[in-house]
Chains A and B, each alone.
Chain A
Amino acid sequence: MSIFKQTISRRTVLGGGAALGASLAMPGVLRAETPKTIKIGILQPVTGNLAQDGELGRTGAEHAIKFINDNGGIASMDGAKLEMVFGDARSTPEGGTAEVERMKSEGVVGIVGGFASPICLASSQAAARYDLPYIVDVGVSDKIVQRDLKNTFRFGPGFGTCSETAIANLVKLNEAAGNPAKTVVLVHEDGLFGSGLAKLMATELPKHGFEILETIAHPTPARDMSNVALRIRSLKPDLIIPSSYYGETVLLMRTLQQQRVRPMGYYSVLNGAASNMRFVKEFPEAADHVMDCNHWHDPRKEEAEALKKSVEDAGGLWAYNIPLNYSCVKLLADAIDRAKSTEPDAVNEALAASTFEKHVMPYGPTKFEGGQNTGAAPVSLQVQDNAIKVIYPEDFADAKPVFPING
């Protein structure tokens, strides 16, 4: 008895009971402190000829995930944090498909990205096998949203909307300057986006009084643009409309500069370089006053400007892929939050009914019809004073267009 008294006192029993109670309660406390994570797939081509765009897309997605996690994660799911599962599409449709399978096996609840239309077409179809939500970041082919896939959503504008806006803004630009430009040369890459755009331009521009002097196609990649530049020089067009990816546009503009070709303006559509700060910084003279109708962030939104500053402060270059992917990831997070679930059907339904407006693009609340965000539209931009400025639409333009440049 004395031994019992010596070893286990009342105080000891009470203390031990309290400790036991606390330790039993701990798992609950721990659960609350470390909420579960939700894996989302980010698919971008970071090897192959689209690697530069893929890296930009990844940067945007990373910033969005950080923003969401820093602001409490997914509120309706106990503040669950987002975790990125990255997939390299290798600039090919089969590469994208393989990564969709891998990301699915790693338990992602949705995928964002793809960049190029062929990758988006194949990857979203692979994701459709599991009804896995897929948000297309850039891919402009309208076929992407014409397949009745209930898992595929495109946040940005498609080819049709971009070309309509581009033509409308070009006509407005020319009229405002007293219609100085009358002749046009179209230069385009011979793939899906360049050829389609050139064909549309060749049909639509004559209706607005422009004469198409010639349509010049080039392959991607192209190593030399001398012949194209010489041909343009001999044609002496008022306007040059290039529709190409980054490398070819830079090569063309530099060659035109070397050949002293001086049109009234360069007006590109969905161009890979004209809205890329790398081009502006590396070749300021060739990039000066180049116009582009493209995706762009909304300069009126503080979050957009903060994102831009954050990217640039980290030594990165700003391009449209960043705000687009940033917004797409936030859109997916919002859908998961509203669905209060990561079940594919619930997230797809939430996306279809989405009226998300906390993005950084100039679109207004999202409204999906057949998977396409109907409010999405491009803007017209111009390189002025080594910066990319919005020139249309007027209600949030931060610069007046400079046109004609060689009048």
Chain B
Amino acid sequence: MRTLRPYLPVLVLGVLLALAPLFVTSNVVLNFLVFTLTVALAAQGWNLLGGFGGQFSFGHAAFFGTGAYASAIWQMQLGFDAWTGFVAGTLAGALAGLVIGFLSFRAGLRGSYFALVTLAFAEVFRVLANSSEVTGGAAGLLLPLKIGAENLQFADRATFLGFVVALVIVVLLLVQWIRGSRFGAQLVALRENEEAARALGVDVLVVKLKAICLSGAITAAAGVLYLQYFLFIDSGIAYGTWISVEVLLAAIVGGLGTVLGPVVGALALHGVGELAKSLAGGLPGIDLAVYGAVLVVAVAFLPGGLVGIVRRRDRPRPVRDAAPVEGEA
């Protein structure tokens, strides 16, 4: 029982999310949940590298786009099916992570230098996708509408949401497991003090590469979900700065380096925005204004993110100390 206890919050959130497709019938809400959880999944990828490992990336669009494009090319140019396309896209994200990680970590890039180099990679990928024939150039790639489970296109949005929720739960469990594992401890160690971790025998390069590969794969899976849901990508969507910013904000607002943070952050940011939109009626841009306001408040007053509020109430101790032991027995 003790070993299962850290998984309890994940399981509770997982059950709540899993019940959503059963009780929600409005396609407006289902659509909102699909998109928000896709962002949350991508944010979870970012959180693994940035939150746990302390390697802040400003260019996670590189993985999101690579996953989406790899799956689209796999299906449209190579003629394979969407399910293997999902695997191919996820693996392509891991590969992109390996390449970007190897080039930047081996060169010893850290902190803002690493952040900038990831931003540059995403931009290079965007320009390449915009000009290459295989990615459809500026016209992008349009996946044919063929509704059927075999094509990973579902007639109703609830089924697609079920698929997204399943993926989010798997990733949450994976991240929770990593937290408690040796690899997780090594990640936190190099976030806190890289030199000290190295002195203690942690192979810093290998740990960082493992983290960026996993992070890339998770974010790429979100990219494939985007593709399968909207059936259209172009360079601006797949490699645009919007997704790099979205994932970063969801993780920061939810709680940096926490398992539930990215999901809570994405739901809170998008939920409040949508709520403001529906309450304000025809006032254009009100949701974006509220989105910004929530962000400012979260950054100014919630250093531990939204998850940090609950933890602070549970345990009266500094957030910095609490972060690495969230969910622990």
* Chain A residues proximal to chain B, CB less than 8 Å: 46-47, 51, 86, 88, 90, 92-94, 97-98, 101-102, 104-105, 118, 121-122, 125, 128-129, 141, 143, 147, 149, 190-196, 199
Contact = CB atoms under 8 A, between A and B. Distances in A.
B28 A191 contact: no
A129 B236 CA distance: 25
Nearest to B236: A191
B310 interface: no
Contacts of A47: 284-285, 288
Contacts of A97: 31, 230
19 contacts: A46-B285, A51-B284, A93-B232, A94-B35, A101-B28, A118-B140, A118-B236, A122-B230, A122-B232, A129-B155, A149-B145, A190-B127, A191-B234, A191-B236, A192-B234, A194-B138, A195-B131, A195-B137, A195-B139
B31 A98 contact: yes
B28 A102 contact: yes
B28 A105 contact: yes
B284 A46 contact: yes
Interface in B229-269: 230-232, 234, 236-237, 242
Nearest to A105: B28
Contacts, number: 78
A121 to B, nearest CB: 5
B64 to A, nearest CB: 13
Given A118-B140, A141-B139, A195-B138, 18 more contacts: A46-B285, A47-B284, A92-B237, A92-B242, A93-B230, A94-B230, A101-B27, A101-B31, A118-B234, A121-B232, A125-B145, A128-B145, A143-B139, A147-B145, A190-B138, A191-B236, A192-B139, A195-B130
B138 A143 contact: no
Contacts of B237: 92-93, 118
A404 to B, nearest CB: 31
Interface string B177-214: 00000000000000000000000000000000000000
Interface of B: 26-28, 30-32, 35, 127, 130-131, 137-140, 142, 144-145, 155, 157, 230-232, 234, 236-237, 242, 282, 284-285, 288
Contacts of B28: 98, 101-102, 105
B138 A196 contact: yes
A105 B26 contact: yes
Contacts of A195: 130-131, 137-139
Contacts of B232: 93, 118, 121-122, 125
A192 B145 contact: no
A121 B142 contact: yes
Nearest to B145: A125
Nearest to A55: B284
Nearest to B27: A101
8 closest cross-chain pairs (CB), A and B: A195-B138, A47-B285, A46-B284, A101-B31, A101-B27, A192-B138, A101-B28, A102-B28
B31 to A, nearest CB: 5
Contacts of A199: 137
Contacts of B131: 195
Nearest to A144: B142
Contacts of A121: 142, 232
Question: Which of B140, B145, B230 has the most chain A CB atoms closer than 10 A to its own CB?
Answer: B230
Question: Which of B30, B142, B157 has the most chain A CB atoms closer than 10 A to its own CB?
Answer: B142
A93 B31 CA distance: 13
B31 A196 contact: no
Contact of B32 (A90, A98, A196): A98
A55 B189 CA distance: 53
A101 B130 CA distance: 30
Nearest to A44: B284
A105 B27 contact: yes
Contacts of B130: 190-191, 195
Nearest to B282: A86
